Amino acid sequence: MKQQLLSLLIICSILFSMLTSCSEDQPPSNTTDTVSGSETQISTDTDAPEEEFIPHYTYTPTVAQNPDLYIVEDGTSDYVIVRGENASPSEVTAANELQLYIEKISGATLPIVLDTEAPAAHEIVVGKTNRETDGQFDREELGDEGFVIDITEDTVWLVGGELRGTLYCVYTFLEEHLGCRFFSQWEEIVPTSDTLGLVVGRDQQVPVIYYRTTSWRPVMESRISAQMKINSRWWTGGEEYGNNLVWAGGDGFSSHTLSRILYGGNNVLSDPCLSSEENYINMLANVRAMLEETPADIISLSQSDGGVGGVCPCDVCAASIEEHGYSGHYLKFVNRIAEELADEYPDVLFHTFAYQFTVMVPKSDIVPADNVAVQLCTINNCHSHPLAEYVYLPQNEDNVPGGYTFEQLIEEWSAICDNLWVWDYTTNFCSYSSINPYIHNLYDNMQLFIENDVYGYYMQGCDASGSPNGEFAELRAYLIGKLLWDPYMTREEFENYMNGFLCDYYGPGWEYIRAFIDLAYEQCECEFTFEDPDDVFPDDIEFVKNIIEEQVDLSDLTTEQIKNPADVDWLKYYEQIDEKDRYFNETLARGYEYFAKAAALAETDEQRTRIDRASIQLDVNFTTLVYNVYQPEAYFLKLIYKTALDREIAAGKISDVDGYTYTYRFEDAILDPYYKSRKQYMIDFNEALYHKMQKHNIQSLFGNDVWSADKEPDFSNPPCGAHLSSYYYLGGWFHNT
């Protein structure tokens, strides 16, 4: 969302490059596949000129280097795992998982015994047991999700809340003390060592955020969510993994619910009249019935997704909106339901949105009821810069006055709402697999949120089953999980988590991947939730001109040759440009270079596969941009000619007026036939990209669409572009109109 035979002579430079070949009969490739499907060999020659860019980042592993005790030595152990006879389902899972991973790491199988058995000399105590003494752990403070890792010379205590805390404790112990890495529901790293040592010490962790969730596909499964300490999902459950926070109504009633709860069905584009007493009575009855049917933590009473056009247009509603504002109008209705049911359901939160036209706080003195959670949505904000810096433009879709900042907005909501939540958008809905330079802002935005007492988070990602990885999806989900659990971490800790993940996931070339992440962040001017790839990183004429100035020698061109461009072999000048620089902007040029170097340094097939999959973001941006600015060689040839022509004009050898004539002559003689002859170039490229995405099981670029078996792909078009016009089916790429 590539398969062609390449000579080994150019593989290192073309591994991830779309532009490595200028010949008419061999289009470029950036894949590790050949036509036959076998793996292309990668050059590992890393000798480089002294001036070549070499990234330098560091990270510090958390696993102890100088242990005080050993739970396994030389593949054997005298430790036993103790769990309570009446352990909760998730505590049983915790004990089993601990046993499983210790065996995977060391080969030693520690027996699991109940706390009814006599104490052993060395124990790992998991969860609530009769081993702990009164007051040893403050269980009220730990709640459902907090935990303590207490390592003493004779006993390792892995103790937490019975609902989820103990399970979180075991996964944290495996990660921070035994070196396991949980990347996604498909991938993890389990180290191997026949000796496992620990350092004596105590660590207590209690979450400060009530509602923690994300919809990045790699963590949309019960086990990995528990490993990431994500506690709410709309798509799975299971008491063995902690019976996460439950939304009443299930998947269909998680958001945009007012019409659906009142009328049934799946209408998410318009809302009922909120001034109708009959609607209130029926809504109250339906909500009560839902809560009786499903013991829930949360129920959503939220506006439609149809914008202001979905608001009831009656005179009574219009008067209410005039008096209270859109948010006050909706809150008045939600408060009434929530307050009526507060005594019957004291532990239920009634959820609603501050979204699009309701993002501004009420104009009147209406405030959310104590049992109402308001979720502020960031959908129309720029995501390539910290939200604290975003200033709303006049006539924006959110009905916010021009000059208002998002920081003002969240501060005003925080001042009136005790249960303020955020719905943050951490993907590009126009193209899940294109470059989205948002990773650094995860930290900055979390600081803004937590400073304003945000109590719940939904970090929306690429949740389409047909696009399982998105763009750096595993990294984003990992960092989101860490931030949601510990929003007060320092910037250095955040950087350490990022670098540690990249090192473990991509291998020895990880620093080049990190260098690309930083470069994309620096180069992007602005990106919104819905953004075409070619708008995020458009063609950069200054970049191309600098490449031509630095690398192309035009000194042998005469004035007569410039006047008669059809007599010149212009490709010979283009071929002076390094292959790694033949792109429209620095982000793509350096990006392909860095990914190729990361692949060359990879040590395993898994690392190479991950790098290859991540490089799809470059391909999607490249092909979309090519579609809009023509073929890359032609783009460079045009600017090469313009550079030579400008030189002659500056020297007084050609007049400005004549320059127009010669430019048209160049386009007619060189560019027009070139465009026609190179059409096959992009057809082959797009077909190769199609197969590359199939290889990595990426079946859609937007929404929940999948490969369409009944459509014939049109590879003369890119897979995405022109804002939502061609995203829907890779199986039948629609023509941009």
Helices and strands counted in the chain (H then E): 24, 16
Nearest to 68 by CA among 170, 202, 179, 236: 202
Q: Which residue has the higher pLDDT, 668 or 396?
A: 668
Q: Cα(459)–Cα(436) distance, rounded to whole angstroms? A: 15
Q: Can you name the residues that pair with 149 across neighbouring β-strands?
A: 158, 203
**Whether the predicted pLDDT of 32 surpasses 50:** no
Least confident of 268-272, 598-602, 639-643: 268-272
Structure confidence at residue 701 (pLDDT) = 66
- Tell me the pLDDT tens digit for each residue of 319-357: 999 999 999 999 999 999 999 999 999 999 999 999 999
pLDDT above 90: percentage of residues in the chain: 68
Do the domain assignments include residue 172? yes
Do the domain assignments include residue 339? yes
Do the domain assignments include residue 319? yes
Residues 122, 257: one domain? Answer: no
Structure confidence at residue 702 (pLDDT) = 56
Q: Using an 8 Å Cβ cutoff, are 429 and 461 in contact?
A: no
Do the domain assignments include residue 286? yes
> For residue 161, what is the domain's CATH number?
3.30.379.10
Last residue of a domain, one of 132, 163, 198: 198
Residues 148, 39: one domain? Answer: no
Q: Cα(388)–Cα(405) distance, rounded to whole angstroms? A: 7
Residues 113, 257: one domain? Answer: no
**Whether the predicted pLDDT of 13 surpasses 60:** no
Residues 673, 568: one domain? Answer: yes
**Whether the predicted pLDDT of 589 surpasses 70:** yes
| Side chain identity at residue 89, one-letter code | P
Structure confidence at residue 464 (pLDDT) = 66
- Tell me the pLDDT tens digit for each residue of 236-245: 557 888 878 8
Cα 95 → chain centroid: 32
**Whether the predicted pLDDT of 23 surpasses 90:** no
What percentage of the chain's residues is helix, strand, coil (to nearest 5)? 45, 10, 45
Residues 653, 700: one domain? Answer: yes
Cα angle at 544 between 571 and 646, to 5 degrees? 75
Do the domain assignments include residue 418? no
Tokens of 354: 């501050």
Q: Cα(26)–Cα(2) distance, rounded to whole angstroms? A: 13
- Tell me the pLDDT tens digit for each residue of 411-447: 999 999 999 999 999 988 878 888 999 899 999 999 9
Do the domain assignments include residue 454? no
Least confident of 351-355, 484-488, 712-716: 712-716
Cα angle at 426 between 425 and 429, to 5 degrees? 75
User: Beta strands of 269-419 (E only): which ranges?
Assistant: 298-300, 349-354, 372-377
Last residue of a domain, one of 132, 165, 198: 198
Give the contacts of 119 (CB within 8 A, at least 6 positions apart): 131
- Tell me the pLDDT tens digit for each residue of 68-99: 999 999 999 999 999 999 999 999 999 999 99
Q: Using an 8 Å Cβ cutoff, are 27 and 685 in contact?
A: yes
Structure confidence at residue 712 (pLDDT) = 67
**Whether the predicted pLDDT of 734 surpasses 70:** no
Structure confidence at residue 241 (pLDDT) = 87
Q: How many CA atoms lie within 13 A of 392 on its CB side?
A: 22
The mean pLDDT of 475-481, rounded to a whole number, is 96
Residues 184, 259: one domain? Answer: no
The mean pLDDT of 156-173, rounded to a whole number, is 97
Q: Cα(592)–Cα(599) distance, rounded to whole angstroms? A: 11
The order of strands in the sheet holding 456-460 is 211-214, 456-460, 420-425, 372-377, 349-354, 298-300
Structure confidence at residue 238 (pLDDT) = 72
Q: Using an 8 Å Cβ cutoff, are 327 and 367 in contact?
A: no
Residue 69 backbone dihedrals phi, psi, to 5 degrees:
-150, 165
- Parent domain of 675: 8-55+537-732
Greatest alpha-carbon span in the chain: 100
Do the domain assignments include residue 312? yes
Please state, rounded to an integer, the average pLDDT across all residues of the chain: 86
Residues 173, 30: one domain? Answer: no
Structure confidence at residue 706 (pLDDT) = 30
Q: Are strands 181-182 and 298-300 parallel, antiparallel or unpaired?
A: unpaired
**Whether the predicted pLDDT of 705 surpasses 80:** no
**Whether the predicted pLDDT of 309 surpasses 60:** yes
Mapped onto helix, strand or coil, the DSSP state of residue 537 is coil
Residues 599, 663: one domain? Answer: yes
**Whether the predicted pLDDT of 235 surpasses 90:** no
Do the domain assignments include residue 3? no
Query: How far is CA 49 from each of CA 13, 54, 173, 563, 694, rounded to the nearest angstrom?
Result: 15, 10, 44, 39, 37
**Whether the predicted pLDDT of 403 surpasses 50:** yes
| Whole-structure pTM value | 0.88
Give the contacts of 714 (CB within 8 A, at least 6 positions apart): 732, 733, 734, 735
Q: Cα(144)–Cα(533) distance, rounded to whole angstroms? A: 43
The mean pLDDT of 211-223, rounded to a whole number, is 90
Nearest to 472 by CA among 521, 423, 508: 521
The DSSP symbol for 348 reads P
Residue 649 backbone dihedrals phi, psi, to 5 degrees:
-65, -45
Q: Cα(582)–Cα(623) distance, rounded to whole angstroms? A: 14
How does residue 28 score in pLDDT terms, banded at 50, 70 and 90?
very low
Residues 20, 162: one domain? Answer: no
Last residue of a domain, one of 350, 374, 405: 350
Residues 560, 648: one domain? Answer: yes
Tokens of 164: 């989820």
The mean pLDDT of 284-293, rounded to a whole number, is 96
Residues 625, 560: one domain? Answer: yes
Concatenating the DSSP letter of every residue in 21-72 gives --STT---B--SB-TTSPBPP--------TTS----------S-SS-SEEEE
Q: Cα(120)–Cα(123) distance, rounded to whole angstroms? A: 6
Q: Are strands 147-151 and 201-205 parallel, antiparallel or unpaired?
A: antiparallel
Residues 591, 715: one domain? Answer: yes
Task: Count how many domains the chain has.
Answer: 3
